[in-house]
Structure 1
Amino acid sequence: MGRDRIAVFAVFALNGAVLGSWSPRVPAIAEQVHASPGALGIALLGASIGMIIAASLAGRAIERIGARAAVAAGVVASVLLLPVIGTATSIFVLGLGLAGLGASVGTWDVAMNIAAVAVERSAAKPLMPIMHAGFSVGALVGSALAGLAAGNHWTPGSHLLVASAVTLLLLLTVIRSVPGVEPRTQAQTQPRARGSLLRRPLLWLLASIALCSAIAEGASTDWSALLMVTEHGVDQGAAALAYSVFSLAMAAARFGGTWLQQRFGATATLVFGASAAAVGLLLTAVLPFAAAGYIGFGMAGAGLSAAFPVALSLAGHAGRRSDGSGGERELAFVTMIAYSGFLIGPPVIGGIAQLTSLSWSFVVVAVVAGMIVPSALLAARSGARETRRVSSRSAGA
C-alpha cells in the first residue's frame, strides 16, 4: 500500500475518532453546562448546521488551496475546539463550540474525500469504501476510549484535551503524504462546459443516494437501541449492542468494498447493498424477535456500507478535468445535500413514531434505503449520457 493511501486512510480514521471522542461525553457535558434537553438539542443542531454550511463552501476553497491544506486546516480547527467544548460552562459557549466543530469537521470531511478520489485516480481502482472503513474504525476506537475515560472519571475537558493533542501529533506524521494540488487560477476554476452543478441530473441522483444513506444510517445510530427496548423487549445493555452490530458490519463490509466494486461495478454494488439494507431494516421493524433485530441491523450496516463512499467517489470522478484533477465542487455539492439527511432524519423519524410507533418509523426508513436502488440505476444512465455528450463535444472540437 502506498504512502498516500495510508495517509488518507489515517486522516479518515482521525476524523472518525474526533467524532467518536466527543459524542459519548455529551451527557457529562450537558450536566456540566446545566442544559435542559431542549437547549441541548439546539446546541447539537448547531453542529449539523455548521457541517452543512462548511460543505456548501468547501468545494471552491479546496479547488484553490488543495485537499492537503484543507485537511490540515480542518484538523487544527477541530483540535482547538474540542477542549472548548469539553470545558464549556454555559450552553451558549457549548453551542458556539459545536457549530465551529461542525464547520471544521465538515471542511475536513470534504477535503479528505477529495484526497481519496485523487488516490483512486492514481491507483486506477476504487478505494473509497476502504477509506470510509478507516472512519468507522476511528469512530469505534474514539468512542471506546471515551467510554474508558468516562469510566475512570476523567472530566470532559481533560479527556478532550488529550484527544486533541494525540490527534494533532498523528496528523503531523501523515499530512505530507496526503495528496495536494497547486492553487488554481481564476480561469481554471470557472464552471466547466458541462454546465452548472444544479443543472446536472447525475449529481442530484448521486446526492439522493448519499441523502438516503445518511437518513438510514442516522436512524440506525440514533434509534436502534430504543427500538430494541420498546419493540423487541431487551434490556438497555443488550439494546446498545444493536448499534455495535450495525457499526461492525459496516466497517467489515467497507474493507471488502473495493473487491466488490471491482468485481461487480459501482451500480451493482449500490443496488445489492441497498436491497440488503432495506430488507434488514424491514426485519427489525416487523419481526418481534430480538435476534431479528440484531440480524437486521447487521444487514443494514453491511448494505449501507458502500452507498455513501461510492456516491462521493462517483461525484468526484464526474468533475474530472482533462488534466486529471477536478471534482471538488461536485463532491462538495453531494456532501452538502447528504449532510441534510443527518439534520432532518431524526426529527422526522421521531414524529412518525409519535404518531404511530417506532416500528412504523423503521418501515419508512427501510423504504428510504430502498430508494437508493432506482437512484443508482438512473445515475448509471445519466452518467453514461454525460460521457457520450462530452465525447461528442470533444470530437466536434
Structure 2
Amino acid sequence: MHSHKALLAIFGVFFFESSVLGQWIPRIPDIKSALNLTDGTLGIAMLMMPLGTLFGFSIAGRVIEQTGLRNACRLFLPAWALLFVGPALAQSLVQLCIAMVLSGLAVGMTETAMNTEAARLENVAGKRLMSRCHGFWSLGTMFGALIGGALAQAGYSVVEHFLVVMPVIALCGYAAATALPILGKGADPAVAVLSTAVVRDEATARLDEPVDSTAVEINPATDIFRLPSRAIVLLCLMPIGIMMVEGAFIDWSAVFMRDVLAAGPWVIAVTYSSFSLIMASVRLAGDTITTNFGEMTVVRVSGLASCAGVALFALSPSIPWAFLGAALSGAGVAIVFPLAVSAAANRPGRCAADNVAALNMISFSAFLVAPPVIGFMSEAFGLRIALLGLAPIAFLTFLLSSEVSGQRHQISIR
C-alpha cells in the first residue's frame, strides 16, 4: 500500500510541473506582441520546446539511472520552472527559440522521471494511479493559467510575473519531489523503459495488472524512434487528431482569443482553464468511465466531442461560444491517448515497448508538426481556418476507434 505522503508527493510533482506551462499559456500573446512576431514565426518558436523535449526523452534514461528517480525530480522540476524565465527575458526570436529548447530539455527529463515514479508506485500498489496523476497535471495547468491570467489582467509584465512566480513554483516542486520515497541509484530499472515509452499521457498503460509467468517483458534497449509494425499502424494513426487539438489549445487558444475575439487576459485564462478543468475531471474519472462503457465507446464519443469542440471554438462568434468549444474539446482529448497506449502495450506481436515507442514517435511528431503548420496556415488563411482544419483530423479518431479493442497480453517491467 502507498503511504498517504507518497501519494500526495507524486500528485504534487505532477501539479507543480504543469503549473509552469499554465503560467505561460495566457502570456503567449504578450510575448508575441513584445517581439513583433507573426503567426508563422510564433509557430517556429513553439516548435522549439517539443524539439528540446524530444532530446530530453532520448537521454533521460541514462541520466536518471545515475541520479535515481527522486533526485531527478528534485533536480529537473525546479530547473524546468527556473529555465522558463528565459522566454520572458528574450529580446529576439533567436533568443526565444534557444530559451524554449532549454525549457523543453528540462521538461523532457522531468516528465520521464515523474511518470516512471508514478508507474513504480502504481505497480507496487497493484492498482491504477496514473489517471489521477494526470488529472492533477490538468489541474496544475488550470491553476497556472488562472494565476497567469490574473497577473496579466492586473498589468504585470511577463518579466515581473515570471521572475516572481517561477522561483516559487521551483521551491514548491522541490519540496514535493523531496517527499517522494528514497531509492538508490539504479534501483529502478524501469527508468530505461519509461524514458523511451512515456510522454505525458501515455503512462496510463496497464502496468498495474498482475504479472504472471506468461507476461511479456519490456526490452530496455528499445529506441525512442521505432517504426510501427503493420499490426498497429492504424492504432498509431488513431490519436493523432486528438494530440493536435490538445497542442493547439496549449499553443494557440490564447492568441485566438485575443487576436480574433478581442478577449482580455483574464477571459483568456478562464477559457483555457475550462478546457483544463473538464479534461482533469474526465481524467480523474477515466478509469470508471472506461470500465462502465468500454474503450471503443469512450474513444468514439471522445473523437466526436473533440471534433465538434475544436470546430465550435474555431467558428465561435463570441467568447461564450469559444468557452463552450474549449470545454467540449477538453472532454474529448482527455483519455483517448492513454487508451491508445494501453492498447498498443497489450497488442500481441512485438514486445510492449516496441509498440508503445512506435505510437510515441508518431503521436509526438503530431505535436512537433502542429504548431508551425497552424502558424503558417493562419498567415495564409486566417487563424479560424487553421484551427478548423483540425476538426476532420480529430474525426479520424472516431473512424479508427475500433483499434483500441483486440487481443491483449500482460506486461511486465523487468
Normalised by the length of structure 1, the TM-score is: 0.74
| Aligned mates of 1:10, 1:354 — CA distance in 2 | 40
2:365 pairs with 1:340: yes
Identity of aligned residues (%): 30
| Aligned mates of 1:151, 1:78 — CA distance in 2 | 25
Match among 142, 145, 148 for residue 146 of structure 1? 148
| Aligned mates of 2:347, 2:180 — CA distance in 1 | 21
| Aligned mates of 2:353, 2:177 — CA distance in 1 | 19
2:5 corresponding residue in structure 1: 3
Q: Show CA shifts across 1:114-143 (max 9, x none).
A: 333333333434333322221221112222
Offset of 1:109 from its aligned partner?
A: 1.9
Instruction: Give the partner amino acid of 1:17.
Output: S
Instruction: Give the partner amino acid of 1:192.
Output: N
Q: Structure 1's 297 and 157: CA in aligned 2 closer, same or farther, altered over 3 A?
A: closer
Q: Show CA shifts across 1:188-212 (max 9, x none).
A: 9997399875355677666544533
1:236 corresponding residue in structure 2: 263
2:219 corresponding residue in structure 1: 192
Instruction: Give the partner amino acid of 1:303.
Output: G
Residues 226 and 239 of structure 1 are in contact (CA less than 8 Å); yes or no, is this contact kept in structure 2? Answer: no
Match among 275, 280, 284 for residue 246 of structure 1? 275
Residues 219 and 346 of structure 1 are in contact (CA less than 8 Å); yes or no, is this contact kept in structure 2? Answer: yes
2:177 corresponding residue in structure 1: 175
Structure 2: state its 5+ residue gaps.
195-216
2:212 corresponding residue in structure 1: none
Instruction: Give the partner amino acid of 1:133.
Output: G
**Where does 1:197-276 land on structure 2 (aligned, <5 Å)?**
197-200=226-229, 207-222=236-251, 236-237=263-264, 240=268, 242-276=271-305
Residues 280 and 299 of structure 1 are in contact (CA less than 8 Å); yes or no, is this contact kept in structure 2? Answer: yes
Q: Which moved more, 1:330-339 or 1:144-153?
A: 330-339
Offset of 1:304 from its aligned partner?
A: 1.1
Q: Structure 1's 348 and 77: CA in aligned 2 closer, same or farther, altered over 3 A?
A: same
Residues 281 and 297 of structure 1 are in contact (CA less than 8 Å); yes or no, is this contact kept in structure 2? Answer: yes
Which secondary structure does the structure 1 equivalent of 2:187 belong to?
coil
Q: Show CA shifts across 1:73-125 (max 9, x none).
A: 32132234133433344544433222100111122123322333333333434
Match among 47, 51, 75 for residue 49 of structure 1? 51
1:121 corresponding residue in structure 2: 123
2:370 pairs with 1:365: no
Q: Structure 1's 78 and 281: CA in aligned 2 closer, same or farther, altered over 3 A?
A: closer
2:81 pairs with 1:76: no
Instruction: Give the partner amino acid of 1:343.
Output: L
Which secondary structure does the structure 2 equivalent of 1:198 belong to?
coil
Which secondary structure does the structure 1 equivalent of 2:128 belong to?
coil
Q: Show CA shifts across 1:367-389 (max 9, x none).
A: 222222454532432xx26x29x
Offset of 1:72 from its aligned partner?
A: 2.9
1:162 corresponding residue in structure 2: 164
Residues 211 and 341 of structure 1 are in contact (CA less than 8 Å); yes or no, is this contact kept in structure 2? Answer: yes
Offset of 1:305 from its aligned partner?
A: 0.9
Match among 359, 362, 377 for residue 402 of structure 2? 377
Offset of 1:170 from its aligned partner?
A: 1.7
Residues 303 and 398 of structure 2 are in contact (CA less than 8 Å); yes or no, is this contact kept in structure 1? Answer: yes
1:302 corresponding residue in structure 2: 331
Q: Structure 1's 219 and 97: CA in aligned 2 closer, same or farther, altered over 3 A?
A: closer
Residues 29 and 258 of structure 2 are in contact (CA less than 8 Å); yes or no, is this contact kept in structure 1? Answer: no
Q: Show CA shifts across 1:35-85 (max 9, x none).
A: 544655544332232122223443555467554343333213223413343
Q: Show CA shifts across 1:143-176 (max 9, x none).
A: 2222333344544344323323222322233224
Instruction: Give the partner amino acid of 2:307.
Output: A
| Aligned mates of 1:357, 1:83 — CA distance in 2 | 30
Which secondary structure does the structure 2 equivalent of 1:118 belong to?
helix
| Aligned mates of 1:193, 1:53 — CA distance in 2 | 18
Q: Structure 1's 354 and 155: CA in aligned 2 closer, same or farther, altered over 3 A?
A: closer
Aligned length: 378
Residues 77 and 170 of structure 2 are in contact (CA less than 8 Å); yes or no, is this contact kept in structure 1? Answer: yes
Q: Structure 1's 85 and 359: CA in aligned 2 closer, same or farther, altered over 3 A?
A: closer
Q: Show CA shifts across 1:342-392 (max 9, x none).
A: 3322443455566667665555422222222454532432xx26x29x99x
Residues 343 and 404 of structure 2 are in contact (CA less than 8 Å); yes or no, is this contact kept in structure 1? Answer: no
Offset of 1:302 from its aligned partner?
A: 0.7
More helix by share: 1
Provide the aligned C-alpha RMSD in A. Answer: 4.4
Q: Structure 1's 113 and 370: CA in aligned 2 closer, same or farther, altered over 3 A?
A: farther
Normalised by the length of structure 2, the TM-score is: 0.72
Residues 242 and 294 of structure 1 are in contact (CA less than 8 Å); yes or no, is this contact kept in structure 2? Answer: yes
Structure 1: state its 5+ residue gaps.
320-325, 392-397
Q: Structure 1's 3 and 267: CA in aligned 2 closer, same or farther, altered over 3 A?
A: farther
Which secondary structure does the structure 1 equivalent of 2:227 belong to?
helix
Instruction: Give the partner amino acid of 2:287.
Output: T
Residues 56 and 332 of structure 1 are in contact (CA less than 8 Å); yes or no, is this contact kept in structure 2? Answer: no
Offset of 1:316 from its aligned partner?
A: 6.8
| Aligned mates of 2:158, 2:384 — CA distance in 1 | 35
